Amino acid sequence: MAKKRKQAATPNKRVDSGELTLSDALNEDMLAKLKAAKQELSAAEQAKEEERQARLLQERKEREKNKSFAELLDEYGEHGSKY
């Protein structure tokens, strides 16, 4: 049997002058506008999430407030404090 030869790895040659990155292609003004838009979207998303959390907390409080005595007794039963 013949021995297997290792194939020589060809290194990837990068031509720095020939390749442009996205930040190189876009001018700085456009890049600043994109970054500002990204920050605005993330801030709006965070505000929306905080609003959702506050709404859920309010709904939970309303459900607790509107429970009947039987529902409260079923839920807390013997776990409630005894006077």
What residue ranges do the domains of the chain occupy?
Answer: 34-78
> pLDDT tens string for the chain (83 positions)?
667 777 766 655 554 556 777 667 778 888 889 999 999 999 999 999 999 999 999 999 999 888 888 888 888 877 766 65
Give pLDDT, residue 69.
85
Give pLDDT, residue 27.
83
Write down the residue that tokens 């190189």 correspond to.
Answer: 24
C-alpha to C-alpha distance for 83 and 74, rounded to whole angstroms: 18
Q: Do 23 and 31 contact (CB within 8 A), yes or no?
A: yes
Entry pTM: 0.50
66 DSSP assignment:
T
Collapse the DSSP code of 2 into the 3-class scheme (helix H, G, I; strand E, B; otherwise coil) and give the result.
coil
Give pLDDT, residue 56.
97
Give pLDDT, residue 39.
98
